[in-house]
């Protein structure tokens, strides 16, 4: 599961690291990016620039956009079994640019949030799929979903699933490559090594998408009341 994340590096830093162009008038850094919001991704259709898509996949054949609320994640093990993901896996792959993501651990009646990032402190990419849907007014709405896999032992402390992480540009290029086989694409969807990840508990203020500030990723020892 991956239901919230951050992307706060400057456009210039992202351009340099991922070798892409970013529309600086559109890009909005976020400490609490949530489903239905617009986010920067790199698609196989435009691998040299950041595209700005809505989080929550709406398949091209969908009757209405509400399906997107249930399509923020896609399980890697069943990509070819789900009609909503099969075509996109074959033709519309993307990566989602993130600095880190949030996950929640059940502790009695509480859900304690943690912030997970790489020990290198670098921005990284999450494997994703995208699609384009035409709304009732005829406007094209491009959306994406984040692919998850079974958690490595590090992530199993708090959850049984985790996003598929690409830490190198080479992995990204392979995922977006239209000239390699499906089996080669599947081989990329593995849990990242435990030692490359770090996490710490954060404030429950992150539970509300209305909260979006640097302090959300700060380590906390005690939890107060909900926003």
Q: Is 81 a catalytic residue?
A: no
Q: Per the residue annotation, which of 2, 81, 167, 195 is the catalytic one?
A: 2
pLDDT(227) > 80: no
| CA distance linking residue 21 with residue 57, whole number of Å | 24
| CATH numbers and ranges of domains, the chain | 5-100+121-194 (3.90.1680.10)
Average pLDDT (132-156) is 95
Question: What does the pLDDT look like over 125-142, one tens digit per residue?
Answer: 999 999 999 988 889 999
What are 29-41's pLDDT values in tens digits? 999 999 999 999 9
Q: What is the pLDDT of residues 156-187, one digit of tens each?
A: 999 999 999 999 999 999 999 999 999 999 99
What does the pLDDT read at residue 221?
Answer: 76
Instruction: Flag whether pLDDT at 50 surpasses 60.
Output: yes
Q: Please report, in angstroms and rounded to a whole number, the separation of the first and last CA atoms in the chain.
A: 23
| 52 pLDDT tier (thresholds 50, 70, 90) | very high
Active site residue 94: no
Say which of 25, 103, 167, 195 is annotated catalytic.
103
């Amino acid at each position: 599961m991956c239901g919230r994340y951050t992307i706060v590096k400057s456009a210039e830093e992202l351009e340099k690291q991922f070798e892409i162009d970013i529309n600086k008038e559109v890009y909005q850094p976020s400490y609490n990016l949530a489903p239905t919001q617009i986010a920067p991704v790199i698609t196989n259709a435009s691998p040299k620039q950041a595209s700005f898509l809505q989080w929550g996949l709406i398949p091209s054949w969908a009757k209405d956009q509400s399906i997107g609320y249930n399509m923020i994640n896609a399980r890697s093990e069943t990509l070819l079994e789900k009609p909503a993901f099969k075509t996109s896996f074959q033709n519309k792959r993307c990566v989602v640019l993130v600095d880190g993501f949030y996950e929640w651990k059940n502790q009695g009646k509480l859900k304690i949030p943690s912030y997970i990032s790489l020990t290198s402190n670098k921005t990284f990419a999450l494997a994703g799929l995208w699609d384009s849907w035409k709304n009732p007014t005829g406007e094209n709405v491009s959306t994406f979903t984040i692919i998850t896999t079974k958690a490595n032992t590090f992530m199993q402390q708090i959850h049984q699933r985790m996003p598929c992480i690409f830490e190198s540009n080479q992995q990204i290029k392979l995922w977006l490559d239209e000239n390699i086989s499906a089996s080669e694409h599947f081989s990329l969807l593995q849990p990242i090594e435990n030692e490359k990840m770090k996490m710490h508990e954060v404030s429950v203020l992150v539970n509300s998408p209305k909260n979006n500030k640097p302090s959300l990723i700060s380590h906390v020892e005690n939890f107060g009341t909900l926003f």
